[in-house]
């Protein structure tokens, strides 16, 4: 790009008369603020919002220069980068290591009083800009500055005239005048986190960039000013041929350009600054009437460019709303119209935000309640574990409520984290002198675990405390479990055998036991049968016995007729009636009855119990009497 400079430099002694100057004030004033903010990251819209809010409080004393540099800008907005940015972010001995950050008059503040300390208090976090602005505005400035700019729309030549007047002597004999060209109203891609400043969004897909540094007329560090004593007056004029674009960023209208001039005492201290006066922007357009459908939803900014004769209309939604259309159906925003009688209404609507809910693992849990919702809607979102063996951990914002209520104020992405339940298995020997165990620990629900019992010499593993006899013992973990491996001396281990006629039933509870163990035996009848007694006459069921030796227990069962024993083979039916055993089908035969001990009893008034019945010597059976 071509630059043309014609420079007029005049220096005067203290007795210089005020009538020679044109625009700069000669009375002492406090400093104005020049914020140089370094942009390019996702949180930059929040920085823009903060600096604009400060400017609204100090419109004549606060000037914002947005410099795009660093790795974030290289990735997201490389076409905004200029050749000046890298040096400004690394003013020795300070180094910028976070974005978005900024310098307030390139002043070094006490790091102990800042939210964050970057460059030892030279680069400020956006949270500190407002308070540091106030402190700079309270400081006296040794120099006043004023500037004017004129544009030639035909030749695209910009002429900048700057005046300085020193009301007191500067601490440095050489100061530096800096003249920066900024560009406004660049409509470009929407970088992330734009919800921090939705007023600058354009149709929900683009973003309006303001105060973007495009060039420095006076070079990297400014033009040297060597007359810095009280009463010195300096004037300079610069001419600059404005290109159609800088890089790939077009400059369609000279009205979008802004000139900021400031004086530095050294490269690291800005004394004061100003915005150049221009007569090409006029906010009054008498023949254009604009309105909005709802003043709570937004407003319209009107700018008239004297150079082009065109008027720009900016529909600016309030937070939580969005611009929809103009009353004539057009959707351009900003919108340029010629100077003609126009009456337009900007239509705004409540904005919808997307609540993006995801599960960290859909096999472990799901989420509900996301989607599009209106601004300020109150919604309930839920994280639901996949099964009773899974559990919710937290959301990615560290909220631990599986069901939570949120108010929709911006687009949000929330991830629910789930996990499968974990359980602890502990294992130990019944006596540490008898043997060892290994294999316990934590497992996810349903995962296998293997326990091993190892007996010392002279001892024998018998079983686990839950009755399992496998060794090694592998099972699926379904809850917290504590198992004991039962070891016994080899000579005190006995085999308790429990058996029965498998046609009639079965017995549970036998196995290897140590001396003195209590063994529970349970007889279970098959369909059509019932338990009668054990081989030793005991009728308890279940039955507890003490292991003192190897022994076999036999369970007896009978048919389930309860006192009736049919014998199709002999065509005999044996039954009990009124305490007496009777038989049908074997007339004239003698019935002999024995009790369970084998003693013959009188077949009359028999009590409840099991009896052996013999009919002559041709047929015998057992019968249960229940009175």
3 state SS for 392-434 = EEEECCCCCCCEEEEECCCCEEEEEEEEECEEEEEEEECCCCC
The CA-based diameter of the chain, rounded to the nearest angstrom, is 162
Q: Select the more confidently predicted residue: 182 or 605.
A: 182
pLDDT grade, residue 547 (50/70/90)?
confident
Highest-pLDDT range among 107-121, 145-159, 438-452, 508-522 = 438-452
Hey, which residues does 383 pair with through a beta bridge?
367
Cis preceding-peptide flag for 499 (omega within 30 of 0): no
User: Is there a contact between 297 and 351 (Cβ–Cβ < 8 Å)?
Assistant: no
Q: Contact 162/233 with Cβ under 8 angstroms? A: no
Tell me what pLDDT residue 449 has: 96
Taking the C-alpha atoms of residue 365 and residue 359, their distance in angstroms, rounded to an integer, is 7
Q: For residue 388, what pLDDT is reported? A: 93
Mean pLDDT lowest among 60-64, 132-136, 332-336: 332-336
Rounded to the nearest 5°, which phi and psi values hold at 55?
-65, -35
Q: Can you give the pLDDT at residue 571?
A: 64
Q: What is the pLDDT of residues 367-386, one digit of tens each?
A: 999 999 998 999 999 999 99
Give the per-residue pLDDT at 574. Answer: 77
- Could you give the CA distance from residue 4 to residue 398 in angstroms, rounded to a whole number? 58
3-state secondary structure 259-298: EEEEEEEECCEEEEEEECECCCEECCCCCEEEEECCCCCE
So what's the pLDDT on residue 298?
85
Q: Where in the chain are the domains?
A: 18-275, 281-350, 353-420, 421-560, 564-625
437: which strand partners? 453
Q: What is the DSSP letter of 604?
A: S
Res. 309 pLDDT band, cuts 50 70 90: confident
Q: Note the pLDDT of residue 235.
A: 95
**Poorest-pLDDT segment among 69-78, 114-123, 424-433, 548-557:** 114-123
Q: Is the peptide bond before 93 cis (omega within 30 degrees of 0)?
A: yes
Q: What is the mean pLDDT of residues 355-376?
A: 95
Quick one: what percent of the chain has pLDDT higher than 90? Answer: 50
Q: Which CATH architecture has domain 18-275?
A: Sandwich (2.60)
The count of other CB atoms within 10 Å of the CB of residue 279 is 11
More confident residue, 194 or 118: 118
Looking at the DSSP bridge assignments, the partners of residue 522 are: 508
> Could you give the 3-state DSSP secondary structure of residue 388?
coil
pLDDT in the model for residue 172: 95
- Tell me the range of 1-5, 19-23, 131-135, 303-307 where mean pLDDT is highest: 131-135
> For 36-83, how does the pLDDT look when each residue is reduced to its tens digit (9 = 90+)?
999 988 888 889 989 988 988 898 999 999 999 988 888 889 999 999
Distance (Å) of CA 74 to CA 39, 77, 392, 429: 11, 6, 40, 66
With a cut of 70, say whether residue 566 has pLDDT above it.
no
Q: What is the pLDDT of residue 223?
A: 97
Q: Please, which residues have CB within 8 angstroms of residue 290's CB and are 6 or more apart in sequence? A: 300, 302, 313, 343, 344, 345, 346
Q: What is the pLDDT of residue 1?
A: 35
When mean pLDDT is compared over 1-5, 110-114, 117-121, 329-333, the highest value belongs to 329-333
Q: According to the model, what pLDDT value does residue 2 have? A: 34
Is the link from the previous residue into 472 a cis peptide, with omega within 30 of 0?
Answer: yes
Mean of pLDDT over the chain: 86
Q: Which stretch, 11-20, 93-102, 374-383, has highest mean pLDDT? A: 374-383
| pLDDT (mean) for 355-366 | 95
Q: Are β-strands 412-420 and 352-359 bridged in parallel, bridged antiparallel, or unpaired?
A: parallel
| pLDDT band at residue 204 under the 50/70/90 scheme | low
Task: Output the 3-class SS for 538-554.
Answer: CCCCCEEEECCCCEEEE
What does the pLDDT read at residue 461? 93
Lowest mean pLDDT among 193-202, 368-377, 547-556, 589-598: 193-202
**Averaged over 357-363, what is the pLDDT?**
95
Res 604: pLDDT = 84
pLDDT tens digits along 136-164: 999 999 999 999 998 887 888 999 999 99
pLDDT at 334 over 70: yes
Candidate ranges 333-342, 351-360, 580-589; pick with highest mean pLDDT: 351-360
pLDDT at 460 over 80: yes
């Amino acid at each position: 790009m071509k630059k043309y400079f014609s420079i007029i430099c005049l220096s005067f002694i203290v007795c210089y008369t005020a009538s020679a100057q044109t625009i700069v004030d000669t009375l002492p004033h406090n400093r104005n603020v020049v914020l140089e903010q370094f942009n390019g990251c996702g949180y930059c819209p929040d920085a823009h919002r903060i600096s604009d809010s400060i400017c609204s409080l100090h419109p004549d004393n606060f000037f914002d220069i947005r410099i795009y540099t660093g790795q974030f800008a290289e990735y997201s907005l490389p076409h905004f980068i200029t050749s000046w940015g890298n040096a400004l972010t690394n003013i020795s001995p300070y180094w910028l290591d976070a974005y978005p950050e900024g310098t307030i008059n390139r002043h070094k503040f006490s790091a102990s009083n800042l939210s964050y300390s970057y460059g030892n208090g030279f680069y400020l976090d956006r949270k500190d800009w407002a308070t540091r602005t106030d402190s700079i505005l309270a400081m006296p400035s040794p120099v006043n500055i004023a500037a004017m700019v004129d544009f030639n729309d035909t030749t695209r030549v910009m002429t900048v005239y700057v005046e300085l007047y020193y009301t007191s002597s500067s601490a440095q004999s050489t100061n530096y005048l800096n003249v920066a060209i900024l560009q406004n109203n660049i409509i470009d891609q929407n970088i992330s986190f734009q919800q921090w400043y939705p007023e600058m969004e354009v149709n929900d897909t683009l973003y309006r960039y303001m105060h973007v540094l495009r060039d420095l007329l006076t070079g990297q560090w400014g033009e040297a000013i060597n007359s810095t004593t009280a009463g010195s007056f300096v004037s300079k004029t610069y001419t600059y041929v404005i290109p159609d674009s800088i890089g790939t960023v077009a400059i369609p209208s000279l009205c979008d350009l802004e000139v900021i001039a400031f004086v530095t005492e050294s490269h690291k201290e800005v004394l004061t600054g100003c915005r150049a006066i221009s007569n090409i922007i006029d906010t009054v357009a008498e023949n254009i009437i604009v309105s909005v459908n709802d003043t709570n939803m937004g407003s319209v900014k009107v700018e008239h460019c004297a150079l082009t004769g065109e008027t720009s209309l900016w529909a600016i939604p309030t937070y939580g709303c969005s611009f929809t259309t103009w009353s004539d159906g057009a959707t351009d925003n900003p919108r340029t119209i010629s100077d003609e009688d126009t009456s337009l209404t900007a239509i705004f609507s409540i904005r919808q935000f997307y609540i993006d809910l995801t599960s960290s693992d859909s096999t472990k849990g799901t989420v509900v309640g996301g989607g599009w919702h209106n601004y300020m809607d109150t919604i309930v979102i839920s994280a639901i574990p996949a099964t009773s063996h899974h559990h919710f951990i937290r959301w990615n914002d560290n909220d631990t409520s599986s069901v939570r209520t949120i108010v929709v104020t911006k687009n949000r992405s929330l991830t629910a984290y789930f996990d499968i339940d974990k359980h602890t298995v502990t294992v130990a020997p019944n006596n540490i002198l008898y043997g060892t165990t290994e294999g316990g620990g934590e497992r996810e629900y349903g995962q296998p675990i293997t326990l091993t019992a190892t007996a010392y010499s002279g001892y024998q593993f018998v079983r686990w405390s839950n009755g399992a006899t496998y060794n090694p013992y592998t099972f699926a973990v379904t809850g917290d479990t504590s198992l004991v491996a039962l070891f016994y001396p080899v000579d005190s281990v006995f085999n308790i055998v429990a058996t029965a006629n498998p046609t009639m039933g079965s017995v549970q509870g036998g196995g290897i036991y140590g001396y003195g163990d209590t063994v529970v035996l349970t007889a279970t009848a098959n369909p059509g049968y019932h338990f009668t007694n054990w081989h030793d006459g005991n009728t308890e069921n279940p039955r507890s016995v003490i292991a003192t030796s190897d022994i076999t227990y036999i369970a007896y069962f009978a048919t389930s007729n309860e006192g009736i024993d049919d014998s199709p083979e002999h065509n005999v039916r044996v039954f009990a009636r009124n305490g007496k055993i009777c038989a049908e089908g074997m007339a004239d035969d003698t019935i002999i009855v024995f009790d369970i001990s084998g003693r013959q009893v009188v077949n009359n008034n028999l009590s409840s119990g099991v009896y052996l019945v013999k009919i002559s010597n041709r047929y015998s059976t057992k019968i249960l009497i229940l009175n």
